[in-house]
Structures are given as structure tokens and as C-alpha cells.
Amino acid sequence: VPQSPPLVPPSDAVSCAPLQAAFLFDCDGVLYHGQRGEPGAAEALHALQAAGKRVLFVTNSASRHRSVMAGKLRGLGMPDDVKSCYTSARAAARYLQQRGVRRAFVVGTAGLAQELGEAGIEALGGGDFAVLDAETGDLPTSEQAHDSELEEDVGAVVVGYDARFTYGKLAHASALLRADARCALVGTNGDACATAANGRLCPAAGAILAAVEVGSGRKATIVGKPEQTFLRGILEDNGLDPSTTVMVGDRLDTDMKFGNDGGLKTLLVLSGVTEENAEVPTGME
């Protein structure tokens, strides 16, 4: 994996933004790649905290519970307060809770299901749903997928990253959405790709969500970055002023748009998805 310069030299971490009170950091591609911390990131985060700055972590990942996210930060020598960790799974749970949804079918991982459960939402489906036939150990046939029994009173289908995504999951989620127009389609994020630990760009949650959208004929509501309901919840939870808050990220389409649309200062790093010669969208600062 190509090595980038330190995120911010520790000695400059505070002096570069003396008037800013809080920093929202994207994680993958900014603070770490896989299990490897970005050079200088831990030192910069601790320097900001020592200067009285608020440091929060905002990721579009929905595959792991925020407590696991905090544990990863801890292992890399970074601040690890779980209350400062915001995932798109947490955003999805908040979105459904505010709309009175009590039962949801999950295309995603146990971490996403756990976040929903902690918000009082029964999570159906999940990682092992329709992966292997219980009797044969094979993938379910298309006929079995088409004949799966649909659960009642499902208020939403929630789609996140799912390494065990199958045709059976796609068929079941699509059938639930086609059977009941009141069942909402919610995407944790629309990221088409993400940077793997080896530097390769790989399909992400947005690619899976696109399949469900096509299969169901429905358009999803996205709750992760750059959606502003996610940002407003973070600002309200922490009493932050947008004018003195900075969004730090590696993606123009999510991180920078997230901050720009919300009136935050933005800082783009080139250690992740965006390359130096990338075209900045019109109107984005």
C-alpha cells in the first residue's frame, strides 16, 4: 500500500486550526487502512484533544458495532470513547426509531443488527440469512428463494455492506418491498466502492444497495454521509457549532459534501480514495 505523508504533523495539529472547536474524522482511508494506522494520525488526534478540541469519528461503515470501532481505535493508540463514534448503522437505527419502525429486515452484518436491536427495533435476516441450505449445505436454489415466507409487519429493509450477500437475500428483500408499499428501503450509505487494505478499490454497500433498488423497483433513503440528518444528529448530540467544526475525510462525494452542505470547514486528505488530480465539484470549497 502506498504510504502517504503524516495526516497532520503532531506539532502542527493545533496551530493549523486555532479557531476550530471540533473535528469530525472519517476513519478508513484517513486514520487507518485495514489494521494499519495512518502515520501521524494518533499523535495528531491526541494533540487536538490536549488543546481542548473535540474529536469525533464519523464513518459510513455499518458492518461493525461502534464498540468494535472504538476497540480498533484503541488498538491503534487513538482516542477510543465509544460515545464519540458515529457509524451509518447508528444513523439507520436513529432514523427508524424516529419513524416508529419496530421491525426491519437486514441485508448486512451482525453489527448492523445489533445497533438496530439496541434502538428497540427487531432485526430480521442478517449475515446468515439464505446463505446455505440447512439440509444440503448448498446455496438455496432460485425456486427456494422465490418461495421464502415473508415476515409480517416489516417496516423497513435496511441495506449495508454484506460480504455474504446472496441471490436469496436479494430476492427476499425485494419481495418484502414489493409486497408492502409502506415498507421503507433504507441504505446505510451509497458508497459504490471502498479502499481495501491492499489499496485495491472494491465494491461497497452502495453496490449491494443498487441491486436491491433494481430488484424491488424502489429508491432508497440514504442515512449515512453525506445526508444532513446524520450530521444534524451528531451536532445536536454534542452541542457543536457548525461554524467552528471541521470535517476531515478522503472522499469528495461523501466526506467533503457532508461538511460543505452542513456549513462545516472541510479538510481533504489524499491517503484514501481521492487522488491529487481529482476534479472538485462546482460549488464545493
pLDDT at 3: 42
Task: Characterize the bridge pairing of strands 265-268 and 245-249.
Answer: parallel
Does residue 260 belong to any structural domain of this protein?
A: yes
Q: Please tell me whether residues 115 and 169 are part of one structural domain.
A: yes
Q: Please tell me whether residues 95 and 189 are part of one structural domain.
A: yes
45 Cβ neighbours under 8 A, 6+ residues apart: 13, 25, 31, 55, 78, 79
Residue written as grid cell 484533544: 49
Does residue 191 belong to any structural domain of this protein?
A: yes
- Residue 133, marked binder: no
Does residue 39 belong to any structural domain of this protein?
A: yes
Q: Please tell me whether residues 214 and 230 are part of one structural domain.
A: no
Q: Please tell me whether residues 210 and 230 are part of one structural domain.
A: no
Identify the weakest region by mean pLDDT among 54-58, 106-110, 193-197, 254-258: 193-197
Percent with pLDDT over 70 in the chain = 89
Q: Does residue 132 surpass a pLDDT of 80? A: no
Does residue 207 belong to any structural domain of this protein?
A: yes
Q: Please tell me whether residues 36 and 104 are part of one structural domain.
A: no
- Residue 250, marked binder: yes
Does residue 229 belong to any structural domain of this protein?
A: yes
Q: Please tell me whether residues 47 and 106 are part of one structural domain.
A: no
Count of the separate structural domains present in the chain? 2
Does residue 134 belong to any structural domain of this protein?
A: yes
Q: Which three cell numbers stand for residue 188?
A: 446505510
CATH label of the domain that carries residue 257: 3.40.50.1000
CA angle 37, 208, 173 (to 5 degrees): 130
- Residue 169, marked binder: no
Q: Mark whether 138 is an active-site residue.
A: no
Q: Are 56 and 86 in contact (CB under 8 A)?
A: yes
Q: Please tell me whether residues 97 and 216 are part of one structural domain.
A: yes
- Residues 70 and 87: their CA atoms lie apart, in Å, by 11
Q: Please tell me whether residues 158 and 96 are part of one structural domain.
A: yes
Q: Please tell me whether residues 145 and 252 are part of one structural domain.
A: no
- Residue 83, marked binder: no
- Residues 230 and 274: their CA atoms lie apart, in Å, by 22
Q: What is the largest CA-CA distance in the chain?
A: 63
Q: Which three cell numbers stand for residue 239?
A: 452541542
The domain of 176 spans: 89-222
Q: Mark whether 133 is an active-site residue.
A: no
**The one catalytic residue among 12, 26, 133, 261:** 26
Does residue 69 belong to any structural domain of this protein?
A: no
pLDDT (tens digit per residue) in 24-44: 999 988 999 888 898 999 999
**The one catalytic residue among 12, 28, 128, 147:** 28
Domain boundary among 186, 206, 222: 222
pLDDT (tens digit per residue) in 203-232: 999 999 999 999 999 999 999 999 999 999
Instruction: Kindly state the average pLDDT of the residues 173-192.
Output: 96
Does residue 173 belong to any structural domain of this protein?
A: yes
pTM for the structure as a whole: 0.86
